[in-house]
C-alpha cells in the first residue's frame, strides 16, 4: 500500500494515546532538567548528575518509542523533533553551563564567560539546517556538555585546564567532523558487527558511568578506563566516517540533489 494511503487510514484511540504518551515522555526530560537546576543551586552536585542521567535515558529512548508509536501520524499536532530539541538544548547546554557557573571547576573570573561560550556554541550547533547529516551523524561537536561536565567533575583537573578543554570543544562545534548518533545505528549500513559493537559499547559506557557516579567519591580506575574506551571508539568512528573518501563523495551528491529541488 502506498505511504500516503497508510497515512490516511483511521487511527485507533489506543495508537493515538500511545503517541501522546511518547510526547509526554519526551517532555518529562525537561522536568528532570528543572530538578537538576534545583540540585545545582543547592550545591547537591551528585543528585544533579543523577537527574542528568535520567534525562539522558529519556533522550536515548524516546526516538525509538516515537517511531514505534508513529507520532508523526498519530499525534501530528506536536512537532516531536522540535520538542526534543527544546528539551535537549536545556539539558545538554543550558544546565551544564549553569553547573560550571555554580561549581569550582573554572577560575572565578572565567565562569560566566565560559558558560556563555557553551550556550552560544550549542545555539549554533542546534540551529544548523544540516546539524545531522544524511547518514545520521552529527556535524560538529554535538553539545554533549552534560557528559563533559561529568568527566571534569570526576577528574578534578585544575580550573584553567577545564577552561581550555571547554574552549577546544566549543571550537570543535565549527569543525565539520562527524560524530555518531548513538540512537540511530542505521548509519553504519551493512557493517552489522560495527553496529553491534557500538550498541554494546553504549551499554557498557552507560553501566560504567553509573557505577562511577554510584561509587563517588571513591575512584575506580577500571570503570573510568572502561568508559573512556567507548569514548575513544566513538571519536574514532566519527573520524573514519569523516575522512572516508566514499562517504564524502556521497555526501556531496546528496547536497547537489537537494539544492536542485524546487523551494
Q: What are the sequence ranges of the domains in the chain? A: 12-259
16 vs 190: CA distance, rounded Å:
34
Burial class of residue 259, CB neighbours in 10 A (0-12, 13-18, 19+): exposed
pLDDT at residue 5 in the model = 39
Cell (9 digits) for 230: 567507548
pLDDT at 253: 38
CA distances from 239 to 46, 138, 201 (A): 33, 12, 17
pLDDT, mean of each 10-residue run, the chain (263 residues): 46 90 96 97 96 94 90 91 94 97 95 97 89 76 94 96 97 88 57 72 90 91 91 85 58 38 30
| Predicted local confidence at residue 212, as pLDDT | 94
Grid cell locating 247:
562517504
Distance from C-alpha of 16 to C-alpha of 12, rounded to nearest angstrom: 6
Compute the distance between CA of residue 216 and CA of residue 150 in angstroms, rounded to an integer: 12
pLDDT value of residue 178: 84
Compute the distance between CA of residue 188 and CA of residue 180 in angstroms, rounded to an integer: 9
Give residue 131's pLDDT. 75
pLDDT at residue number 194: 67
Cell of residue 113, nine digits: 564567560
Cα angle vertex 212, ends 41, 93, to 5°?
Answer: 45
Asked whether 74 and 13 are in contact (CB, 8 A), the reply is: no
Amino acid at each position: 500500500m502506498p505511504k500516503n494511503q497508510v497515512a490516511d487510514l483511521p487511527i485507533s484511540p489506543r495508537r493515538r494515546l500511545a503517541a501522546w504518551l511518547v510526547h509526554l515522555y519526551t517532555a518529562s526530560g525537561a522536568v528532570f532538567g528543572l530538578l537538576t537546576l534545583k540540585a545545582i543551586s543547592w550545591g547537591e552536585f551528585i543528585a544533579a548528575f543523577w537527574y542528568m542521567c535520567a534525562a539522558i535515558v529519556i533522550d536515548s529512548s524516546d526516538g525509538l518509542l516515537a517511531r514505534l508509536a508513529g507520532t508523526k501520524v498519530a499525534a501530528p499536532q506536536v512537532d516531536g523533533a522540535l520538542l526534543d530539541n527544546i528539551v535537549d538544548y536545556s539539558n545538554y547546554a543550558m544546565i551544564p553551563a549553569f553547573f560550571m557557573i555554580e561549581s569550582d571547576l573554572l577560575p572565578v573570573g572565567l565562569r560566566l564567560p565560559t558558560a556563555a561560550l557553551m550556550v552560544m556554541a550549542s545555539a549554533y550547533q542546534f540551529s544548523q539546517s544540516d546539524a545531522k547529516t544524511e547518514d545520521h551523524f552529527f556535524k560538529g561537536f554535538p553539545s554533549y556538555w552534560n557528559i563533559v561536565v561529568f568527566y571534569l567533575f570526576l577528574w578534578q583537573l585544575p580550573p584553567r585546564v577545564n577552561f581550555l578543554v571547554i574552549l577546544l570543544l566549543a571550537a570543535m562545534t565549527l569543525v565539520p567532523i562527524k560524530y555518531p548518533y548513538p540512537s540511530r545505528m542505521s548509519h553504519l549500513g551493512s557493517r552489522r558487527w560495527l553496529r553491534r559493537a557500538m550498541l554494546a559499547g553504549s551499554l557498557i559506557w552507560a553501566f560504567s558511568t553509573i557505577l562511577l557516579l554510584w561509587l563517588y567519591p571513591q575512584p575506580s580506575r577500571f570503570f573510568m578506563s572502561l568508559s573512556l574506551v567507548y569514548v575513544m571508539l566513538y571519536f574514532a568512528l566519527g573520524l573514519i566516517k569523516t575522512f572516508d573518501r566514499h562517504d564524502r563523495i556521497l555526501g556531496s551528491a546528496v547536497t547537489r540533489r537537494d539544492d536542485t529541488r524546487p523551494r
